[in-house]
Amino acid sequence: MKKLAQRNYYGKALAKLAETREDVVVIDADLAGSTKTSEFRKVAPERFVEAGIAEQDMIGVAAGLAASGKTVFASTFAVFATGRCWEQIRLGCAYPKLNVKIVSTHCGISVGADGASHQALEDISIMRSLPNMTVISPADAYEAYAATLALADCKGPCYMRLGRADVPVLFDEDVGFEIGRARRMRSGSDVSLIGTGQMVSLCLDAADMLESEGISADVINMSTIKPLDGAAVMESVSKTGCAVTAEEHSVIGGLGSAVAELLSENMPAPVVRIGTRDTFGESGDPDQLFRKYGLTAEDIAAAARKSISMRE
């Protein structure tokens, strides 16, 4: 299966925006080579801002630039982009609804060997809780490219998380992106598998496994976590009656929480959440870590069986 890194396509999209959008400014905190904002710098160095290892200042500067009419992309690793400067994002960007797009790379446990200090497993949760904030987690590299262009076209504060590693390609190169709209990846009637980020690919693998057991899975790519496409969730669950959520993130406050909140208030149904269970990660190969922390396609399939059994 073809694999590509989301961050590389973020860089390509920024390079395109450098040519097409005079109002776009990119700011980074000493990680341009890793986040791939370096691709923008190559094309428009006069609109690239190096903030140094000073993420709180980076966000404040981004807010000031946005208040002056710029569309600002601010990037660094997910832990630092959200955790180090959460309150700067809250006051400077979210509260006044400024046009700052915080795009992080190196989200989740697939960061691997660097260990828990660098594995953001809480970023969706803490960003989702901010009023006015849009939260996006694309499923593959092409969707990351399209989502970057969509971010440039939307007004207001947004957060997008991207991975470091190469992940399976699920879409064609010309895939579009509509913020707030989920995509059905596969139709089924027995259980809804709702994934985000690279977990969508694993949901599809799980659906294959389940199919061999005669279980038909409805697979949804929830690439926008906020605003959640509630209609898509309810349409699927009204058919299946039970759901599994899958995210490379803590089960606390992320996609699983969002789906459970929606269903419990509107259409109570079993929801089994795949994600890290209130724990930090550790060093290791991504594959080893996915197995140890219960994030594999087998884990998703087992969760589907559990969700179905709770419905019955």
Partner 1 sequence: MPLSPAELKRKADLLRLHVIEMTTAAGSGHPGGSLSAADLMAVLYFRVMRHDPGNPAWEDRDRFVLSKGHVAPVLYAALAESGYFPTEELLTLRKLGSRLQGHPVRGKLPGVEMSTGSLGQGLSMSCGIALAGKMDGRDYNVYCLLGDGELQSGQNYEAMMFASAKGLDNLIAFVDRNRLQIEGDTEKVMPLDPLPDKWLAFGWDVFEVDGHNIEQIIGAIEEAKRSESPSVIIMNTVKGKGVSFMENQAGFHGRACKPEEYEQAVRELKEALE
Does 118 contact partner 1 by CB under 8 A? no
Q: Is 96 in the site for partner 1 (CB under 8 A)?
A: yes
Q: How far is the CB of 101 from partner 1 (least distance, A)?
A: 14
User: Interface with partner 1 by CB under 8 A: which range of 83-91, 115-123, 231-239, 271-279?
Assistant: 83-91
Does 14 bind partner 1 (CB under 8 A)? Our answer is: no
65 touching partner 1, by CB under 8 A: yes
Nearer to partner 1, 134 or 276 (CB): 134
- Asked whether position 130 contacts partner 1 by CB under 8 A, the answer is no
By CB under 8 A, the count of residues binding partner 1 is 29
Nearer to partner 1, 59 or 160 (CB): 59
Q: Cα 52 vs. chain centroid, distance in angstroms?
A: 25
Residue 271 CB neighbour total at 10 angstroms: 24
68 binds partner 1 (CB under 8 A): yes
State yes or no: residue 282 binds partner 1 (CB under 8 A).
no
For residue 117, the 8-state DSSP code is G
Handedness of CA 202, 203, 205, 209 (dihedral sign): positive
Q: Which residues pair with 192 in a beta bridge?
A: 218, 243
Annotation says 55 is catalytic: yes
47 binding partner 1? (CB under 8 A): yes
Nearer to partner 1, 95 or 302 (CB): 95
- CA-CA distances (angstroms) from residue 153 to 70, 115, 305? 12, 35, 41
Place of tokens 């991975």: 163
Residue 204 interacts with partner 1 (CB under 8 A)? no
Q: Which of 62, 215, 242, 269 binds partner 1 (CB under 8 A)?
A: 62
Is the Cβ–Cβ distance between 188 and 263 less than 8 Å? Answer: no
Q: By CB under 8 A, tell whether 180 contacts partner 1.
A: no
What are the angstrom distances between the C-alpha of 244 and each of 23, 71, 73, 250, 255?
41, 36, 33, 14, 10
- Can you tell me which of 30, 83, 95, 114 binds partner 1, judged by CB under 8 A? 95
Based on the shown chain and the rule CB under 8 A, indicate whether residue 126 belongs to the binding site for partner 1: no
Distance CA 238, CA 241 (A): 6
Closer to partner 1 by Cβ: residue 25 or 246: 25
Sequence-distant (≥ 6) Cβ neighbours of residue 91 within 8 angstroms: none
**In 117-229, which residue ranges form alpha helices assigned H by DSSP?**
123-128, 141-153, 199-212
Tell me: does residue 168 bind partner 1 (CB under 8 A): no
Q: Which two structure tokens, joined as six digits, stand for 110?
A: 């697939």
Binding residues for partner 1, rule: CB under 8 A, are 25, 46-47, 49, 51-52, 54, 56-57, 59-70, 87-88, 91-92, 95-98
Would you please indicate which residues are annotated as catalytic (active-site) residues?
55
